[in-house]
Amino acid sequence: MHDWHLECSLCGVRADADGGQTVCGACGKPWLVRYPERRHPVGEKQTPTGAGMWRFRSFLPLMPGEQPITLGEGDTPLLATPRLGAALGIERLWIKDEGTNPTGSFKSRGLAAAITRAVAAGVRTFTLPTAGNAGVAAAAYGARAGVRVRVYAPRTTPKPILTQISAFGADLHLLDGHIGDCGKASRAYSAESGAFDLSTLREPYRIEGKKTMGLELAEQFGWELPEVVLYPTGGGTGLIGMWKVFAELAAARWIGPRMPRMYTVQSAGCAPVVRAFETGAGECQPWENPWTVASGLRVPGPLGDRLMLAALRGSGGGAVAVTDDQLSQTADLCTRTEGIDCSPEGGAGLVAARLLRERGVILAGDRVVVFNTGAGWLYR
């Protein structure tokens, strides 16, 4: 039997977790997974052995003895990048390279967790809208589980990403418009066919997979988090997941109470979270005519807006918009300077670090981590 339950992120209502959940029935906001305290005897830190994200089992939605659906996701390198750091003016810079995951992006973490739980609950057909990489991961983990996946993606998604979705055997539907339009089509298909909707934050387990980035970060820094984390943000599951697990780690006393300052980075062509942060709003207004080459950031109206804004404000961090020229040039600089295959999204995080250092928001002694959320080859 599972030992966790769901709690609404807005109204706090509780529900049992049988694997078929979508969003809170009372207020329509995302669920968060809550675990019983006995999972982490306080202060008893046991660095888990094994390989991949599932070795952090006591923080994850798995039942005793249960095997997840996995392709070996997680355990990505944390790379010190002094040469790139010197070029950007950041004294202490690391890149967490999520492009080394199966399917070439950190989406593999979330989709592995979501598909594991849904398949355990008996689901055999899935649908999701994607800005690109979530579709690749859903297609691959669907194949791994032997289930059917339908993907709705914008026609303007980078070609290599679309090729990967089809190669993994998903049923790919291309639409004019952005991920919000794809979401409408996917939900209509879900309602008519009964296919399970894997959209960001419309089921509770993608966050649980993505939060393993935060677990690895803590472990890789010797259980003492860095001062600054920059995260290229679209739907926000990575940011929300990391913020959630930092609290879980602190409650278990695996880390102290000091948290990193968390920064959202978006493209100036689609920056709803930056706009909401700057105007002091509690939620995002949908961005009109969103466009950026960093396709993972093209999410005009994220469902997790409140959770993201709470994490940014609660951590003392912020939100930064950069231009497509800046992010593309900086991705190229990283790739050539360090040999790390940097995505446009990763480039956004890096150039934002430079801008924040120039503005004196990032200080000389700060340890700065930028997430390269995907591999550059998916865009070329």
Ligand X SMILES: *Cc1c(COP(=O)(O)O)cnc(C)c1O
Interface residues with ligand X (CB under 6 A) are 105, 107, 133-134, 200, 232-238, 296-297, 343, 345, 373-374
Q: How far is the CB of 112 from ligand X (least distance, A)?
A: 14
Q: ∠153-154-155 over CA atoms, to 5°? A: 110
Closest CA to 213 of 193, 178, 185, 237: 237
Write out the two tokens for 65.
């003895």
Q: How far is the CB of 293 from ligand X (least distance, A)?
A: 12
Q: How far is the CB of 348 from ligand X (least distance, A)?
A: 8
Nearer to ligand X, 52 or 158 (CB): 158
Cβ 293 vs Cβ 344: under 8 Å: yes
Nearer to ligand X, 92 or 376 (CB): 376
Residue 197, SS3 per DSSP? strand
Nearer to ligand X, 105 or 315 (CB): 105
The C-alpha atoms of residue 175 and residue 352 are separated, in whole angstroms, by: 31
Nearer to ligand X, 163 or 193 (CB): 163
Nearer to ligand X, 345 or 366 (CB): 345
Residue 18, C-beta contacts closer than 8 angstroms, at least 6 positions apart: 121
Nearer to ligand X, 21 or 105 (CB): 105
Closest CA to 270 of 233, 304, 299, 312: 299
Cβ 34 vs Cβ 245: under 8 Å: no
Nearer to ligand X, 106 or 126 (CB): 106
Q: How far is the CB of 135 from ligand X (least distance, A)?
A: 10
Nearer to ligand X, 29 or 40 (CB): 29
Quick one: DSSP state of residue 38?
G
- Laid out side by side, the sheet with 31-34 consists of 14-16, 5-8, 31-34
Q: How far is the CB of 120 from ligand X (least distance, A)?
A: 23
Q: How far is the CB of 183 from ligand X (least distance, A)?
A: 13
Q: How far is the CB of 267 from ligand X (least distance, A)?
A: 11
Write out the two tokens for 176.
């004019």
Residue 275, C-beta contacts closer than 8 angstroms, at least 6 positions apart: 281, 284, 285, 287
Write out the two tokens for 191.
């309602």
The C-alpha atoms of residue 219 and residue 322 are separated, in whole angstroms, by: 30
Nearer to ligand X, 252 or 294 (CB): 294
Quick one: DSSP state of residue 379?
G
Closest CA to 286 of 179, 373, 173: 179
Residue 63, C-beta contacts closer than 8 angstroms, at least 6 positions apart: 1, 2, 3
Q: How far is the CB of 108 from ligand X (least distance, A)?
A: 10
Write out the two tokens for 28.
């329509």
Nearer to ligand X, 100 or 200 (CB): 200
Phi, psi of 101 (to 5 degrees): -70, 160
Q: How far is the CB of 303 from ligand X (least distance, A)?
A: 10
Name the residue number minimizing CB distance to ligand X: 296
Q: How far is the CB of 134 from ligand X (least distance, A)?
A: 6
Q: Which residues pair with 370 in a beta bridge?
A: 95, 230
